[in-house]
Amino acid sequence: MSKESKLPSRVSGLFNVRREEVLPVLLSGAFFFCVLTALMLLRPARDALGMQRGIEAVRWLFVGTAVVTLLANPVFGWLVSRFRRVQFIACTYIFFALSLVGFFLLLVAAPSAVGTTSGEIFYVWFSVFNLFATMLFWALMADRFALEQSKRFFALIAVGGTLGAIFGPWLASVLARPLGTPALLLVSAGFLILAMILAWAVARSQGHPSATEPSMNQEDLSVIGGSAWEGLKAVLQSPYLLGIAGYVILMSIVATFLYFTRLQMVAALGQDVDMRTAMFARIDMLTQIATLVLQAVFAGKLMKRFGVHITLTLLPLTVALGFIGLAMVGTLAMLISFDAAFKAIQRAITRPARETLYTVTSREDKYKSKAFIDTFGYRSGDVAGAQVEGALGRLGMGLAALTSVAVPLALVWAALGYWLGRKQQDIARQTAPVDAADASPRDRSPISAATL
């Protein structure tokens, strides 16, 4: 074998990706890079506009976001029921891109109309946009790749998102001064359009087609059907999907506890905006570095070696230990370490592992049920976490009280993650008539949500 032929094999072995899978994985990573770049270009503006009326107002913006997300879910479900996969993906991204153009025209043509209320509207809109954009990406990943594949390279694909999360803020800092802040909305819209094109390429890319396998294009030509509310019904009827929803809600609650703890500890340092910005930037920098290391070195190997059930317990156990440490030490350094560890594990390990749970569900559940869980389920957890944290604060109860709530929730969360991983293994055994190592999305016949 020549050196030229050995090199692709070595690269494939290093990243645990077979030669025929390289193109779909690269396209998926580029897709996620564009999505996260579009989001991170605008997140600083979202946070700045949302905090104009103080931290208490942010708690109620969480409520507004949850309501809007609930209203948006049947609309998305209708798109999934009536259009082919590539079409409803394109419709979703085009809608958000056109919304960004609309906000740009408002900022340029009527800057005097931009105030606190319009800033809060943008905060809610962006929060919904953030959830649907990432949800749709991972739904396509769960639909495109089999369970065995997802364990090997979902974490690798997530590296593309991390690079986008780093590139987005950097690009915003470079372009904000010469082009102006409103122009960033158009740049973000451009990345969304590019993400839509890459989504089409991912859906159409072939792993290793054969004459006995139907083309992936047949899935693109088929309409999922059903009603707009099938996602909600499926979640209520399936213990497995209900367990995924519970996992997401518990994660969102404790993440919100940590979010407001960070806001309050940084706010206590002083009113200087530059100081706060530098502190948040330091936390984000540590988070991104830790995330990249985990994704590139450990994440894929963890799922492959220990299984999804063990991997899903890592973040809850980190939360339990982190809040105990924060209650005992209570320093800003401890907060920064805890926050960075939480986000790094969440993005690098937990998110890819959680997305593998959908690889054993039906195509309808991958889009409809997942949309409900990853959007409204997530935001309802935000609301619950924000209100509980606010109530404890108003009662004058400090970090120790918050820890007494967070730790038991984390332990329940860990137990649920372990059960979900085991349940996924059972479903995979029931629905995999071929050898798992050679399985593809065309090989498996997922059972419906009602039987999960």
Confidence of residue 213 (pLDDT cuts 50, 70, 90): very low
Q: How large is the average pLDDT for residues 384-391?
A: 84
- Report whether pLDDT(378) > 60: yes
- Report whether pLDDT(185) > 60: yes
Position 45 scores a pLDDT of 65
Position 120 scores a pLDDT of 74
Cα–Cα distance measured from residue 194 to residue 216, given in angstroms and rounded to the nearest whole number: 21
C-beta contacts of 166-169 below 8 A and 24+ residues apart: 166/288, 167/33, 167/37, 167/40, 168/36, 168/37, 168/38, 168/39, 168/40, 168/41, 168/43, 169/40, 169/41, 169/43, 169/44, 169/284
Cα–Cα distance measured from residue 229 to residue 249, given in angstroms and rounded to the nearest whole number: 20
User: Which range among 254-263, 290-299, 319-328, 371-380 shows the weakest confidence by mean pLDDT?
Assistant: 290-299
The CA-CA-CA angle for residues 327, 328, 329, to 5°, reads: 100
Position 244 scores a pLDDT of 94
Q: How large is the average pLDDT for residues 390-411?
A: 83
Position 317 scores a pLDDT of 95
Position 374 scores a pLDDT of 84
Positive or negative, the CA dihedral 68, 69, 75, 79 is positive
- Report whether pLDDT(437) > 60: no
Position 118 scores a pLDDT of 66
The proportion of the chain whose per-residue pLDDT surpasses 70, expressed as a percent, equals: 75
Position 123 scores a pLDDT of 78
pLDDT (tens digit per residue) in 352-371: 889 899 988 888 888 888 88
Position 190 scores a pLDDT of 94
Confidence of residue 250 (pLDDT cuts 50, 70, 90): very high
The proportion of the chain whose per-residue pLDDT surpasses 90, expressed as a percent, equals: 20
Position 275 scores a pLDDT of 59
Crossing angle of helices 239-267 and 308-329, rounded to 10°: 30
* Structural contact between residues 118 and 106, judged by C-beta atoms closer than 8 angstroms: yes
Confidence of residue 153 (pLDDT cuts 50, 70, 90): confident
- Report whether pLDDT(229) > 90: no
Is 18-207+219-432 a domain of CATH 3.30.300.180? no
Q: Please state the domain extents for the chain.
A: 18-207+219-432
Position 319 scores a pLDDT of 93
- Report whether pLDDT(340) > 90: no
- Report whether pLDDT(221) > 80: no
Residue entry with tokens 């507004």: 64
- Report whether pLDDT(316) > 50: yes
Position 312 scores a pLDDT of 94
pLDDT (tens digit per residue) in 231-247: 788 888 899 999 999 99
Crossing angle of helices 230-237 and 239-267, rounded to 10°: 100
Position 35 scores a pLDDT of 94
The verdict on pTM exceeding 0.75 is no
Phi-psi region of 109 (alpha: psi -120 to 50; beta: other; left: phi over 0): alpha
Position 209 scores a pLDDT of 40
Provide the CA 278 distance to its chain's centre, in angstroms.
Answer: 25
